[in-house]
Amino acid sequence: MIRPLLTTLLALSAVSLTAYAAPPALADAKVTLAYLSDPNWVKDGEKALAKKFEDQTGIAIDFQLVPSDQYFNVLKTKLNSGEAPDLFGGQSGVTDLTLNYNVEKNAVDLSSEPWAKLEDPMVAAQSTVNGKLYGLTYWDTLGYVWVVDYNKAMFKKYNLTPPKTYAEFKALCQKLLDNGIQPLYEPVSDGWHQVLWFPELGPRYEQVKPGLAEALNTNKAKFADSDIMKTDLTELKEMFDLGFFGKNALSDAWADRTKALSDGKVAMILATSSYPVELAKDYPTVKPDDYGVFVMPLADNQLLNVNPAGPTHFIYSGSSHIAEAKQFLDFLTNPENLQTYLDNEPAFLTLPFPGIKDKFSPELKAFMDAHKDARGTVYQTEVKYVNAQWMDIGKDVTAMFTGTEQPADVLANLDKRRADLAQAAKDPAWK
Partner 1 sequence: MKIRSRYPRYFALPALLLYGTFFIIPSLSGIVYAFTDWSSYSDDVNFVGLKNFAKIFSPGEYYLAYFLNTFVFTGATIVLKTVLGLGLALLLNEGVKRFVNIYRVLIYRPVVLPFIVVGLIFRSILNPATGLLNTFLRAIGLDAIAMQWLVDPHIAIYSVVVVDSWKGVGYIMVILLAGLQTIPKDYYEAAEVDGANAWQRFRYLTVPLLMPAIAIVTVLNVLYGLRVFDIVYAMTNGGPGYATEVLSTGIFKSFSQGQYGLGTAISTILFLILIGAGYGVIRLLEPKPVGD
Shortest Å distance, C-beta 107 to partner 1? 14
Among 395, 406, 408, 430, contact with partner 1 (rule: CB under 8 A): 395
Q: Does 424 bind partner 1 (CB under 8 A)?
A: yes
Q: Which helix (H) or strand (E) holds 132?
A: strand 132-133
Could you tell me which of 273, 254, 271 has the C-alpha nearest to residue 348? 273
Inter-residue contact 245 to 260 (CB < 8 Å): no
Binding mask 240-259 for partner 1 (x = CB under 8 A): -------xx-xxx-------
Q: Does 130 bind partner 1 (CB under 8 A)?
A: no
Q: Does 399 bind partner 1 (CB under 8 A)?
A: yes
> Do the strands 32-37 and 60-65 form a parallel or antiparallel pair, or are they unpaired?
parallel
Residue type, 357: K
Burial class (CB in 10 A: 0-12, 13-18, 19+), 416: middle
Neighbours of 51 (CB within 10 A): 12
Q: Where are the beta strands (DSSP E) in 158-265?
A: 182-185
Binding window for partner 1 (CB under 8 A); candidates: 2-10, 160-168, 359-367, 392-400: 392-400
Q: Which is nearer to partner 1, 44 or 420 (CB)?
A: 420
Q: Does 77 bind partner 1 (CB under 8 A)?
A: yes
Distance CA 127, CA 96 (A): 10
> Inter-axis angle of helices 407-424 and 390-401, to 10 degrees?
160
Among 76, 132, 175, 209, contact with partner 1 (rule: CB under 8 A): 76
Tell me the C-alpha to C-alpha distance, in Å, between residue 256 and each of 45, 78, 89, 267, 279: 20, 29, 23, 15, 11
Among 177, 243, 425, 430, contact with partner 1 (rule: CB under 8 A): 425
Number of residues that bind partner 1 (CB under 8 A): 37
Q: Does 281 bind partner 1 (CB under 8 A)?
A: no
Distance CA 92, CA 321 (A): 23
Shortest Å distance, C-beta 67 to partner 1? 9
Among 13, 80, 161, 218, contact with partner 1 (rule: CB under 8 A): 80
Q: Does 99 bind partner 1 (CB under 8 A)?
A: yes
Q: Does 73 bind partner 1 (CB under 8 A)?
A: yes
Q: Which is nearer to partner 1, 164 or 417 (CB)?
A: 417
- What DSSP letter does each residue of 334-389 carry, written as one string? SHHHHHHHHHT-TT-S--SSTT------HHHHHHHHHTSSSEEE-HHHHSTTSGGG
Q: Does 189 bind partner 1 (CB under 8 A)?
A: yes
Shortest Å distance, C-beta 149 to partner 1? 22
Handedness of CA 93, 296, 208, 396 (dihedral sign): negative
Q: Does 191 bind partner 1 (CB under 8 A)?
A: yes
Shortest Å distance, C-beta 363 to partner 1? 33
Q: Which is nearer to partner 1, 136 or 421 (CB)?
A: 421
Q: Which is nearer to partner 1, 289 or 420 (CB)?
A: 420
Q: Does 426 bind partner 1 (CB under 8 A)?
A: yes
Q: Which is nearer to partner 1, 248 or 344 (CB)?
A: 248
For the segment 400-419, give every residue that binds partner 1 (CB under 8 A).
Answer: 402, 404-405, 412-413, 416
Q: Which helix (H) or strand (E) holds 306?
A: strand 304-306
Among 147, 398, 407, 411, contact with partner 1 (rule: CB under 8 A): 398
Inter-residue contact 255 to 329 (CB < 8 Å): no
Q: Does 102 bind partner 1 (CB under 8 A)?
A: yes
Tell me the C-alpha to C-alpha distance, in Å, between residue 85 and each of 67, 101, 236, 315, 338: 17, 13, 38, 8, 24
Binding mask 42-71 for partner 1 (x = CB under 8 A): ---------------------------xx-
Distance CA 212, CA 105 (A): 31
Shortest Å distance, C-beta 419 to partner 1? 11
Shortest Å distance, C-beta 318 to partner 1? 14
Question: Can you give the binding site for partner 1, defined by CB under 8 A?
Answer: 69-70, 72-77, 79-80, 98-99, 102, 188-189, 191, 247-248, 250-252, 395-396, 398-399, 402, 404-405, 412-413, 416, 420-421, 423-426
